[in-house]
Amino acid sequence: QKEVEQNSGPLSVPEGAIASLNCTYSDRGSQSFFWYRQYSGKSPELIMFIYSNGDKEDGRFTAQLNKASQYVSLLIRDSQPSDSATYLCAATTDSWGKFQFGAGTQVVVTP
Amino acid sequence: NAGVTQTPKFQVLKTGQSMTLQCAQDMNHNSMYWYRQDPGMGLRLIYYSASEGTTDKGEVPNGYNVSRLNKREFSLRLESAAPSQTSVYFCASSDVIGETQYFGPGTRLLVL
């Protein structure tokens, strides 16, 4: 069983709408959570990270963390065609803080 | 400031051949990582180096070796390549373990 689970998608979102991506994790000791965006053929790039329960906003992106339910989500507001990519969720796994990545959710924003 | 660089970008090997993937970072980071990415599998950690002079196995270390040459450089060696090692390999670095990781552009490896 993978420690970090994501719906593989594709998640089709109309331009201007909100994209909602979910990620669940199994290690209750996970402390830090990261969202990366990966365009096809490119390397992952950080969107944002979150450590504390609740919401964290950065521009059009909002990360939400609920440690009791062991899920973290990413909202993309006013989705643009340039947001079409695969979004990777990562959680630190143990006291050493190594990352465990989910397989990613593909988002397709349609004009 | 180039960030994390990797060489080569592409490589084709025959089964049994050896090669070394090079990675360097100019961000003065302490920790470095090697991942492989396969379709539907996400990123899987091969080896990591928490700090200069240390290396440890990750999730999928079999068939690979690593060297932390200095604080900047972390290489990955395939001693006897197998078709199962066909993948995209990413090097990453972070200030310390558990902090944000920054990725290189990747090396696409095909083993025939």
Measured CA to CA in angstroms, residue B60 lies from A54, A96, B63, B73, B103 at distances of 34, 17, 9, 21, 18
pLDDT surpassing 70 at residue A2: no
Q: Which of A42, A43, A47, A96 to mutate to test the interface with B (most CBs of B within 10 A)?
A: A43
| Cβ-nearest to B90 among A31, A43, A98 | A43
Helix (H, G, I), strand (E, B) or coil at B60: coil
Proportion of chain A above pLDDT 70, given as a percent = 95
String of DSSP letters for chain A: --SEEE----EEEETTS-EEEEEEE--TT---EEEEEE-TTS--EEEEEE-SSEEEEETTEEEEEETTTTEEEEEESS--GGG-EEEEEEEE-STT--EEE---EEEEEE-
- The per-residue pLDDT for range B60-87, each reduced to its tens digit, is 999 999 999 899 999 999 999 999 999 9
Question: What's the mean per-residue pLDDT of chain A?
Answer: 93
pLDDT reported for residue A95: 60
**Of residues B36 and A29, more confidently modeled:** B36
pLDDT reported for residue B98: 85
pLDDT reported for residue B111: 97
In chain A, what residues touch B48 (CB-CB under 8 Å)?
98
H helix or E strand, kind and range, residue B37: strand B31-38
Q: How far does B89 lie from chain A, in Å, by closest CA?
A: 10
